[in-house]
Amino acid sequence: MDLIKHEIAHLEAFRDLLGEEGIADEVCFRLGETFDAAMSDEAWERLKGAYEAMKKDHGEGHEVVRACRLIENLSDAEEFTQMKGCLGAVVHPTGQVWPYKFVHALLRTVLKAGNLNLQAHTPAETVSERDESGWITVKTARGDVRTKAVMHATNRWASHLLPEFSNLIFGSRSTLASIKAREGFIKHTGAQHWDSMVNNYHLQLPPPYNSIIIGGARSLLVHSPQDCYRNDEEDKQFDGVPEFFQSWPKSDITEWPGSHPAELARNVDDGGCWSGIESMSIDAFPFVGDIPDRDGHFVAAGFSGHGTCFL
């Protein structure tokens, strides 16, 4: 429950930050609701069971329990009936932001303030141990940097400089696509569950973009786990995934207004369908703090996040 409350607190934190900086519209920020739709008896039993357990443990008056609701009769909630074959859903608060635009907006603000020296396209090649004078040397193609402390915050790629993490933090290859849609067609973000995984998830970007971002494709990729886990081939498409995403609206969305197959917002290899690397850790928890036997070295990596946070 503490973890759930921590996540929910981010909704107001984002609202306050983006409002203060005046960039809410720029980064496509919206607050609203999302739903986890059960597409099989197995998924419905798990989702409903989790909701009922939370209500039993914390009471119907708890702030988080009150913010969620169970949809068992879909005719009572027509706005959440977009998923063909949905058996039921759990609805809860959510927010939406364009991470790439968000990060760039914050970088612009900090750079303008003169408090940051940003060196893009400059990978650290080696990082030394502390010398007798207490200095650590970071070697790059643009020259060396000397510092008293180093923070390793490269997530999946931490083992590039810290080989002891090679079997503790590793990659998971994921995919999504951008599909053209009419304005405001999908009003809520959502996720489809057939089993214990989030098999597909979707949201619609606001005008002028009007594209549906659809990710997951787990019902297809479950047949080729070697293409996903411990796989860093982000320069390649998954076989069959572009076609799967283009067929998804017609097969899974009621009253889909577009053509079949759906039209990608861009060409497949020009951002229309995307493959990228998420981070995973050996126990699903991140490594945060000072690194044993490496004086002056600290790490914040191995965040096994949910959602496609790297757009």
Q: Are residues 198 and 307 in the same domain?
A: yes
Q: How far is CA 271 from CA 97, 190, 274, in A?
A: 18, 22, 6
3: in domain? no
Residues 246/175, Cβ–Cβ less than 8 Å: no
Number of domains in the chain: 2
Residues 189-215 pLDDT 10s: 899 999 888 899 999 998 889 999 999
Q: In terms of domains, do 273 and 205 share one?
A: yes
Confidence (pTM): 0.87
Q: What is the mean pLDDT of residues 108-120?
A: 89
Higher pLDDT: 307 or 217? It is 217
| Co-location of 182 and 262 in the same domain | yes
pLDDT over 60 at 309, yes or no: no
176 and 306 both lie in a single domain: yes
Q: Is residue 233 part of a domain?
A: yes
Q: Is the same domain home to 187 and 299?
A: yes
- 167 in any annotated domain: yes
Q: Say yes or no: 132 and 263 in one domain.
A: no
Average pLDDT score over residue span 57-74: 91
Q: Is the pLDDT of residue 311 over 60?
A: no
Range of the domain at 181: 151-311
| Of 178, 179, 157, 176, residue with least CA distance to 166 | 157
One domain, residues 212 and 239: yes
Cβ neighbours for 224, distance < 8 A, ≥ 6 positions apart:
238, 239
Q: Do residue 164 and residue 140 come from a single domain?
A: no
Sorted by sequence, the CB contacts under 8 Å of residue 214 that are 6+ apart come out as 176, 177, 179, 200, 201, 202, 245, 248
Average pLDDT (156-175) is 93
Q: Are residues 182 and 279 in the same domain?
A: yes
Both 274 and 306 in one domain: the answer is yes
Residue 84 buriedness (CB in 10 A; 0-12 / 13-18 / 19+): middle
Mean pLDDT of all residues in 243-267? 92
Express each pLDDT in 2-39 by its tens digit: 989 998 999 999 999 999 999 999 999 999 999 999 99
The answer to whether the CB of 296 falls within 8 A of the CB of 130 is yes
* 260 and 169 together in one domain: yes
Q: Would residue 104 count as lying in a domain? A: no
Together in a domain, 227 and 251: yes
Say whether 20 sits in a helix, a strand or coil.
helix
